[in-house]
Amino acid sequence: MSGRGPVPTSENIFSFDTEHLQIELPRPDDAPILFGLVGGEHRREVTVTLLWDGPDHISDIEEWIEKCSIKTFADYGFHWAVRDKTGEFTGRAGEAMGAIGTRPRGEPGRADVGYWLGRPYWGKGIMGEALTALLELGFTMLDYYKIEADVYTSNARGLRLVESAGMIREGVVRRAYRKNGEWVDATIYGILKEEWQAKESRPVDTPPVENRLTQMIPGTEPPIADQQPGPLSWRSTVHPPPSPSLPSSNEQVTSLRPRAHRCDCRCPYLLPRTPDRHDRCFCEPGHPQRPLGNSHPANHDFVDANVRGGEPV
């Protein structure tokens, strides 16, 4: 992997599960719940440690939800709702409890993370589980080399959270941000890919865990025989194509659910099967576009859930 991060024009196609959480794109019907958690009676308590002061109106949350679905990585980063997987925290499976996201930061491959959690769900290990999962996504599927977090130095709970996820304290920026009319210091944390791999006991050259994509698509085999699935289950989120015409850019990736497959250039990126029956590699400029042939292995086909009802085409 190049360590240069996602294609800048790519959209967020990722959702992922942990033992207790579903982390996926927010939906319009999440707006009232999220607004109540971050804009309601606990607003000041939730946002006092955030760069953001919270929403003034539910329309602010509705606008954020829309941007999560349509904005590119370069423009907005990737953001998700953090959901209760089984209902053990909220009483309703799938209910949103907060949000987590990642944005580009400076050089390609360098990014930061941010998150917030509704006050009723504090102290249950929820955000630690979500952050650990996001780090894994970043260093595998998103091709990050470094992930950072800025934490207000006065936020003791926040400092413990990033440290528990394996992030390393790099220093303090004095009077880094202005919050509630006062200048505050920020402690900078970071973790490099090789540090995360050492922590997770993964070989430095381990490709992304594509087998976790195949867990959600029956009939496919993991591309790496000796690599066992970890605690997460990865899946691409299927969005309807913008029009029946052939996509001509990276936007086509968001309308496809790929089976695990790497392109001929041996990069670790997954390829979409497009309606013009070509494999397209978007990981680096100049990579080949190879027509599919009859000898192409069956498990290298791709499923387009929008074109042929989920059957290989």
The identity of residue 6, as a single letter, is P
pLDDT at 150 over 70: yes
Within-domain flag for 219? no
pLDDT tens-place string over residues 57-82: 999 999 999 999 999 999 999 999 99
Within-domain flag for 101? yes
229 three-state secondary structure: coil
| Mean pLDDT, residues 124-151 | 97
In whole angstroms, give the CA distance from residue 113 to residue 20.
Answer: 20
> Buried (b) or exposed (e) across 150-182, using 16+ Cβ within 10 A?
bbbbebeebbebbeebbbeeeeeeeebeebeee
Within-domain flag for 283? no
What percent of the chain has a predicted confidence (pLDDT) above 90?
A: 62
Residue 118 sits in which domain range?
14-200
205 is written with which tokens? 């050259």
Q: What is the dihedral of CA 156, 162, 168, 173, to 10 degrees?
A: -50
| Mean pLDDT, residues 253-276 | 36
> Is residue 212 within a helix (H) or strand (E), and if so which, with residue range?
helix 211-214
Within-domain flag for 172? yes
| Residue from 40, 38, 48 nearest 151 by CA | 48
Within-domain flag for 39? yes
Within-domain flag for 123? yes
In whole angstroms, give the CA distance from residue 230 to residue 19.
Answer: 11
How many domains does the chain fold into? Answer: 1
In the sheet that holds 78-84, the strands lie side by side as 168-179, 182-192, 146-152, 110-117, 96-104, 78-84, 21-24, 14-17, 233-236
pLDDT at 238 over 90: no
- C-alpha distances (whole Å) from 246 to each of 69, 81, 250, 275, 283 are 20, 31, 12, 7, 20
**16 bridge partner residues:** 23, 234
Within-domain flag for 280? no
